[in-house]
C-alpha cells in the first residue's frame, strides 16, 4: 500500500473512533456562511476561521478564484442550504502568481511530468509527450493579489444568480503570520446596499431560510 494511503486510512480510523455527536450533524451549515479559498496546503480554513464540522461551507480551488464552478457551489450553498454571508479568502505567496496561461500551456505541451520551480520561474525537466489541451483552459492565474480578490468579489456580487442581500467579504491570509488581512476595496464591492438591507429587514423570513433544516435533517 502507498505510504500516504496507509497514513490517511489509519488517521481516518482514529478520527471515526471518537466521532461522537458529529453523527447527528444536519446537512445545512449551522453558522450559515461559505468561504471560497485557495487549495494551498498551508491554509486550513477550519483553523484560520475557527470552524467545526457542520459550521460552514468551504469551497476550494487553485487561487480561491470565482470560477463558474465556484459560483455553482456558492449558489447551491445559499439557495438550497441557507448560507447568508460569503467570504473570498486568497493568500500571500500564492502559486497562482508564479505563472501565466502561456507558461503552464507551454509546460504541458512539453510533458505531463512535474515542472521544476527555479528562481527564473517554472522549467520543464520531464519527458514528453505532452498535450495541447492546456491551451483550452483558462487557468485563472493572478498578477495582482489584491486586485484578484476585488475581481472575484465583484464577479460574485454581480452574478445574476447571487442575491443582493448576501454580503461578500474579501480577505488575504498572510502565510507568514496566519492573519486574515481585509482587502477593503473588495469588502466595499461586496457589501449589501442600504436599500437591499432595508428590504431584508421588512421581509424577515425569506422563503427557503427555514426549509433546508427540515428537508435535509435525516
To Zn ion, the closest distance from the beta carbon of 97 in angstroms equals: 8
Q: Output 51 or 94, the one with its CB closest to Zn ion.
A: 94
Q: Output 38 or 56, the one with its CB closest to Zn ion.
A: 38
To Zn ion, the closest distance from the beta carbon of 129 in angstroms equals: 29
To Zn ion, the closest distance from the beta carbon of 96 in angstroms equals: 6
To Zn ion, the closest distance from the beta carbon of 39 in angstroms equals: 7
Grid coordinates representing 100 are: 501565466
Q: Output 51 or 142, the one with its CB closest to Zn ion.
A: 142
Q: Output 40 or 168, the one with its CB closest to Zn ion.
A: 40
Residue 145: alpha-carbon gap to chain centroid: 15
Residue 187: alpha-carbon gap to chain centroid: 16
- Give the C-alpha separation, 204 to 13, whole Å: 44
Burial 84-103 (b: 16+ CB within 10 A, else e): bbbbbbbbbebbbbebeeee
Binding site for Zn ion (CB under 5 A): 38, 40, 94
Amino acid at each position: 500500500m502507498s505510504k500516504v494511503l496507509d497514513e490517511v486510512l489509519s488517521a481516518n480510523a482514529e478520527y471515526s473512533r471518537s466521532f461522537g455527536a458529529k453523527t447527528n450533524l444536519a446537512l445545512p451549515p449551522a453558522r450559515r456562511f461559505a468561504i471560497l479559498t485557495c487549495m494551498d496546503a498551508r491554509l486550513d480554513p477550519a483553523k484560520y476561521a475557527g470552524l467545526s464540522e457542520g459550521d460552514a461551507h468551504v469551497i476550494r480551488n487553485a487561487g480561491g478564484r470565482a470560477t463558474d464552478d465556484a459560483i455553482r457551489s456558492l449558489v447551491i450553498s445559499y439557495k438550497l442550504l441557507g448560507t447568508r454571508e460569503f467570504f473570498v479568502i486568497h493568500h500571500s505567496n500564492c502559486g497562482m502568481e508564479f505563472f501565466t496561461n502561456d507558461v503552464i500551456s507551454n509546460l504541458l505541451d512539453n510533458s505531463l511530468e512535474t515542472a521544476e520551480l527555479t528562481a527564473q520561474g517554472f522549467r520543464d525537466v520531464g519527458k514528453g509527450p505532452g498535450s495541447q489541451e492546456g491551451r483550452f483552459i483558462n487557468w485563472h492565474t493572478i498578477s495582482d493579489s489584491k486586485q484578484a480578490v476585488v475581481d472575484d468579489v465583484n464577479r460574485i456580487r454581480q452574478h445574476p444568480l447571487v442575491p443582493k442581500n448576501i454580503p461578500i467579504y474579501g480577505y488575504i491570509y498572510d502565510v507568514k503570520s496566519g492573519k486574515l488581512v481585509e482587502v477593503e476595496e473588495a469588502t466595499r464591492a461586496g457589501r449589501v446596499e442600504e436599500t437591499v438591507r432595508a428590504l431584508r429587514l421588512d421581509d424577515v423570513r425569506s422563503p427557503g431560510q427555514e426549509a433546508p433544516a427540515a428537508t435535509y435533517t435525516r
